[in-house]
DNA sequence: ATGACGGAAGTTTTCCGA
């Protein structure tokens, strides 16, 4: 099974990229963030014509998340239970797992707050949001042990995930409280798929549009796929696909991918 | 020190992202 996540920075603009990528990569699940459109504008017909079903939670201008999958997303839930939030940042759904017909995968697609800067109100909201997410996920992992958390975390977990750690030290996306929150997620029994495998140095999933950030590889690894303990042993590969970042009018993020062996284990 | 680039709203300039 191929599971993937991609912050598309406007699904309206990036729909051709998404359709091309689905056709080329044939993922079983693709989580999208930053749709930047209302549900009434979601391009459901085009996505279904490509052979995918979708669950989505959007809003005007900002945020918005979706789960695309070959089989219909089941038991769809929106948001973080117990955390009131007008911003559409989380959607969850169950997807059949060929290895365990009685026990589907629980897919959680999340667009973590950016935080803007460590001295802003948005940063405080980010920390509150992270705390609520972690508390909620502890319960979700009990309900759904076969859980995958995919999305734009807006956190670079370690210095090796940052092109210039000195410049980013203590800045938003890299600050110690954010990294501690990421470690708290790991502490729930989640595992970073990408770091299960040997990777090239300076592997990133986002590059600034400005100053030729991509060509100079001035990036951050902030998009992640975390697998619960019962799933991680089946993960056979994880990668970042930089190809869509090279197209005309790209998103500033690249898709991240994890492959799960379909045998039980 | 600031802005760069890109998207959206919506009218010309602002907010936001990371």
Tens digit of pLDDT at every position of chain A (265 positions): 999 999 999 999 999 999 999 999 999 999 999 999 999 999 999 999 999 999 999 999 999 999 999 999 999 999 999 999 999 999 999 999 988 888 999 999 999 999 999 999 999 999 999 999 999 999 999 999 999 999 999 999 999 999 999 999 999 999 999 999 999 999 999 999 999 999 999 999 999 999 999 999 999 999 999 999 999 999 999 999 999 999 999 999 999 999 999 876 5
Nucleotide nearest A249, from its CA to each C1': B6
Asked if A206 and A155 touch (Cβ cutoff 8 Å), the reply is no
Nucleotide nearest A10, from its CA to each C1': B7
Asked if A199 and A119 touch (Cβ cutoff 8 Å), the reply is no
Distance CA A245, CA A39 (A): 26
Nucleotide nearest A33, from its CA to each C1': B17
Q: What single string gives the DSSP state of each residue in A24-90?
A: HH--SEEEEE---S-GGG--HHHHHHTT-EEEEE--SSS--EEEEESSPPEEEEES-TT---SS--E
Q: How many CA atoms lie within 13 A of A28 on its CB side?
A: 16
> What's the CA–C1' distance between A215 and B6, in Å?
16
Nucleic acid strand B within 7 Å of A216 CB: no
Nucleic acid strand B within 7 Å of A252 CB: yes
CB atoms within 10 A of CB A24: 11
Q: What stretch of H or E contains A21?
A: helix A11-25
Nucleic acid strand B within 7 Å of A15 CB: no
Nucleic acid strand B within 7 Å of A214 CB: no
Please provide the size of chain A in residues.
Answer: 265
Asked if A106 and A137 touch (Cβ cutoff 8 Å), the reply is no
Nucleic acid strand B within 7 Å of A138 CB: no
- CA-based nearest residue to A1, from A111, A140, A96, A141: A96
> What's the CA–C1' distance between A197 and B15, in Å?
40
Nucleic acid strand B within 7 Å of A7 CB: yes
Nucleotide nearest A172, from its CA to each C1': B18
Which residues of A are annotated as catalytic?
111, 152
Tell me the β-bridge partners of A259: A2, A237
Specify which residue's alpha carbon is closest to the C1' of nucleotide B4. A210
Which nucleotides on strand B sit less than 7 A from a protein beta carbon?
Answer: 3-9, 16-18
Nucleic acid strand B within 7 Å of A124 CB: no
Q: What is the pLDDT of residue A263?
A: 76
The pTM score is 0.97
């Amino acid at each position: 099974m191929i599971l993937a996540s991609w912050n598309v920075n406007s699904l309206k603009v990036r729909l051709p990229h998404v359709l091309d990528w689905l056709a080329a990569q044939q993922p079983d699940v693709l989580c999208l963030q930053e749709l930047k459109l209302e549900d009434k504008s979601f391009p459901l017909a085009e996505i279904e014509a490509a052979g995918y079903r979708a669950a989505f939670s959007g809003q005007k201008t900002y945020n918005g998340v979706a789960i695309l999958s070959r089989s219909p997303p089941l038991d769809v839930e929106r948001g973080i239970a117990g955390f009131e939030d007008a911003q559409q940042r989380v959607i969850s759904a169950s997807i059949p797992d060929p290895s365990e017909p009685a026990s589907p995968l629980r897919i959680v697609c999340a667009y973590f707050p950016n935080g803007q800067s460590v001295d802003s109100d948005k940063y405080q909201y980010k920390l509150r949001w992270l705390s609520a997410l972690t508390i909620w996920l502890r319960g979700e992992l009990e309900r759904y042990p076969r859980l995958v958390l995919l999305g734009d975390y807006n956190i670079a977990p370690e210095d090796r995930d940052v092109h210039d750690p000195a410049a980013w030290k203590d800045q938003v996306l890299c600050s110690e409280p954010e990294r501690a929150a990421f470690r708290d997620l790991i502490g729930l029994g989640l595992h970073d798929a990408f770091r299960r495998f040997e990777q090239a140095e300076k592997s990133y999933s986002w590059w600034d549009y400005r100053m030729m950030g991509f060509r100079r590889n001035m990036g951050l690894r902030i998009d992640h796929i975390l697998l619960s303990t019962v799933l991680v042993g089946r993960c056979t590969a994880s990668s970042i696909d930089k190809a869509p970042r090279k197209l005309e009018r790209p998103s500033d993020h690249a898709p991240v991918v994890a492959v799960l062996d379909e045998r039980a284990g």
